[in-house]
Chains A and B, each alone.
Chain A
């Protein structure tokens, strides 16, 4: 008699991803998986000593002491027949990580692994994010910063830019640049403000996230993960509504 098959595709996906991680370890013993996986590992190790009903927690993060990125906690509970995941939480955005975001983070890990080194260019960052987050929402400004600058100037002169007079930091930044200042020397907040003007001339769909870092800059991979989590779960997600596109089945 054929046994009835019960499908657990999320579990399957997770296990296939963990097999991927194992293969990377085989190739490179120094391989460092995403903090979420590391937190899982810690929690599972701690689980060894727990009795049924007992809980364990794993914590892991990336970044530096001053700039903590991707801090995750994973809480597990020991059951008679295995382990139950009670919580997977990103402490920075202080939200439980839903299944769809977890899957996106894992895919991002694989895609970033294909890029050699610990950093990526803005273009690589955008391509990686677009590959895993539905909707092609990310755009690297690159060489088009001059178009953005000119458009910003036009809008400012025609009085279409509001609400910046209260931001003293921004005003200071804006006054520190001239028409000839190279993009690399713009303060970050000014680049973000001016860079977004490209949406007006570039026919970019509304809700596009513009990455304004200079095209040759090196962005640490952990910052790419941090940005992804911010866009998917953080404050920005409330405006971007990126997860709206996710398919019901995976939710």
Chain B
């Protein structure tokens, strides 16, 4: 990777952080080592209405500042990413993952670069317009600013491939013609999907919204669904569908787009938004020559439904986000930087890929098989690693046991009559030196084995038991 180009990209991200600091630097002291210390900071602040109103007003201009910044720099970063022949993924889920740090830990074990939509850009330029409750907006913004801060070292690190890129990714940035195409494709796909699950023949998205908008209870929606096997798992029981729609409706209370109160309308709008998201995400993945990555089930389901299964790389990257791998979150973030600086990513990738093929991944729509294989691969790697450490430790202990006799024998040899004491001493001394050097090398190997990512993974995994 060209050092000059990397320096240029890092300079851009340094400027990005300077902007964030110029608006929020005064509350950076709340950034602690704890991964979720910032999650409730915004809502705690929101309990002080006059203070939070002042903060909201004082940071109001961040939207135009960040917009200007991206207008100046997006092209440089996009060109740089496209020029790399790396394995990379574009995140699509919520604005950013709830705990961005954990998402990055899991992803960076397998992929070269994670491309994150800039949460500050999306919140300040788009979400702010539709969020009715300013305090809710502030709460979200603060959470995401802290998320980004936590990744600053990784964003500005200089490994062989950059681990994280932040980019302004939003449907509104797509040129009008393409955007229109994306929206109309999404509308067609949404209509087809709703027609299938309800076994009806809806004409278009508008009709879906209108007809489903008449449903006033989750029970009536559930009873009218004819093909439950086409639904994501969470919608396949009436209770979980009901809970989902309740939560969705509560979140919608903060937004201006909610112009119909019915549960059916909420359901249809949610499905429609997912089909738009899929198209948007595909578009940006194509532009950036990247794979899609999700950190939670629902958006992943719709992408999968649309694409018909992932290839091996995307399947592994996405399977790692599953709950069963949450123990990875305990690996320190700095270990990821070490993994890259020591060029161990290829090894890690080969560990994870073992026994997984494109075909296997494509047929595994729920990523169950891929997930199980990854688990097995990691356990095998752990056993190998532990085995290697034990073997190295044994070698050291043998040398340690030999240390004293060698030293003793050496000096004793010096006094054996008939043998030149000088030669004997030199000979014994060389043996001791060799043995000590060998021991040091082995100890270093143990130390490095114990500190490398696999060992850190083992520790995290054991803590989970």
* A144 touches B (CB below 8 Å): no
CB of A5 within 8 A of CB of B37, answer: yes
* B55 touches A (CB below 8 Å): yes
When distances are taken between beta carbons in the complex, the residues of chain A under 8 Å from B167 are none
CB of B55 within 8 A of CB of A13, answer: yes
Q: How far is the CB of B120 from chain A (nearest CB, A)?
A: 15
Residue of A nearest to B38 (CB): A5
Q: How far is the CB of A229 from chain B (nearest CB, A)?
A: 16
Residue of A nearest to B59 (CB): A16
* A235 touches B (CB below 8 Å): no
Interface string of B171-199 (1 = CB under 8 A from A): 00000000000000000000000000000
Alpha-carbon distance A104/B48, docked complex (angstroms): 13
CB of A107 within 8 A of CB of B22, answer: no
Alpha-carbon distance A3/B55, docked complex (angstroms): 25
Alpha-carbon distance A246/B51, docked complex (angstroms): 12
When distances are taken between beta carbons in the complex, the residues of chain B under 8 Å from A100 are 50
Interface string of A119-136 (1 = CB under 8 A from B): 000000000000010000
Q: How far is the CB of B51 from chain A (nearest CB, A)?
A: 4
Number of interface residues of B (CB under 8 A): 27
Interface string of A90-122 (1 = CB under 8 A from B): 000000000110011011001100000000000
CB of B27 within 8 A of CB of A12, answer: yes
Which of A3, A16, A107 is close to B26, meaning CB atoms less than 8 Å apart? Answer: A16
CB of B50 within 8 A of CB of A16, answer: no
CB of B49 within 8 A of CB of A250, answer: yes
Give chain B's interface secondary structure class: helix
* B94 touches A (CB below 8 Å): no
Give chain A's interface secondary structure class: helix
Residue of B nearest to A106 (CB): B54
* B17 touches A (CB below 8 Å): no
Interface string of A154-195 (1 = CB under 8 A from B): 000000000000000000000000000000000000000000
When distances are taken between beta carbons in the complex, the residues of chain B under 8 Å from A2 are 32-34, 37
Number of interface residues of A (CB under 8 A): 29
Which of A3, A5, A23 is close to B22, meaning CB atoms less than 8 Å apart? Answer: A23
Which of B30, B48, B57, B60 is close to A250, meaning CB atoms less than 8 Å apart? Answer: B48
Interface string of B21-32 (1 = CB under 8 A from A): 011111100101
* A19 touches B (CB below 8 Å): yes
Interface string of B41-68 (1 = CB under 8 A from A): 0001101111111110111110000000
CB of B49 within 8 A of CB of A23, answer: no
Q: How far is the CB of A188 from chain B (nearest CB, A)?
A: 31
| Given A13-B54, A110-B57, A247-B49, A19 contacting B23 (CB threshold 8 A) | yes
Which of A10, A15, A23, A107 is close to B57, meaning CB atoms less than 8 Å apart? Answer: A107
Residue of A nearest to B24 (CB): A16
CB of B53 within 8 A of CB of A107, answer: yes
* A31 touches B (CB below 8 Å): no
* A7 touches B (CB below 8 Å): yes
CB of A13 within 8 A of CB of B60, answer: no
When distances are taken between beta carbons in the complex, the residues of chain A under 8 Å from B55 are 12-13, 16-17
CB of A111 within 8 A of CB of B57, answer: yes
CB of B48 within 8 A of CB of A16, answer: no
Which of B23, B25, B32, B47 is close to A3, meaning CB atoms less than 8 Å apart? Answer: B32
| Given A5-B32, A16-B27, A103 contacting B51 (CB threshold 8 A) | yes
Interface string of B3-42 (1 = CB under 8 A from A): 0000000000000000000111111001011100100000
When distances are taken between beta carbons in the complex, the residues of chain A under 8 Å from B49 are 247, 249-250
Q: How far is the CB of A103 from chain B (nearest CB, A)?
A: 4
Q: How far is the CB of A89 from chain B (nearest CB, A)?
A: 20
CB of A17 within 8 A of CB of B50, answer: no
When distances are taken between beta carbons in the complex, the residues of chain A under 8 Å from B50 are 99-100, 103-104, 246-247, 250
Contacts beyond the supplied A9-B48, A22-B22: 14 A-B pairs with Cβ under 8 Å? A5-B37, A9-B45, A12-B27, A12-B45, A13-B48, A13-B58, A16-B23, A16-B26, A16-B55, A18-B26, A103-B50, A107-B53, A111-B57, A249-B48
A–B Cβ pairs within 8 angstroms, 23 of them:
A2-B32, A2-B37, A9-B52, A12-B51, A12-B55, A13-B54, A13-B55, A15-B27, A16-B58, A18-B26, A19-B23, A23-B61, A103-B53, A103-B54, A106-B54, A110-B54, A110-B57, A110-B60, A132-B53, A246-B50, A249-B48, A249-B49, A250-B48
7 A-B pairs closest in CB distance: A15-B26, A250-B50, A13-B51, A20-B58, A103-B50, A110-B57, A2-B34
Chain B residues near A (Cβ < 8 Å): 22-27, 30, 32-34, 37, 44-45, 47-55, 57-61
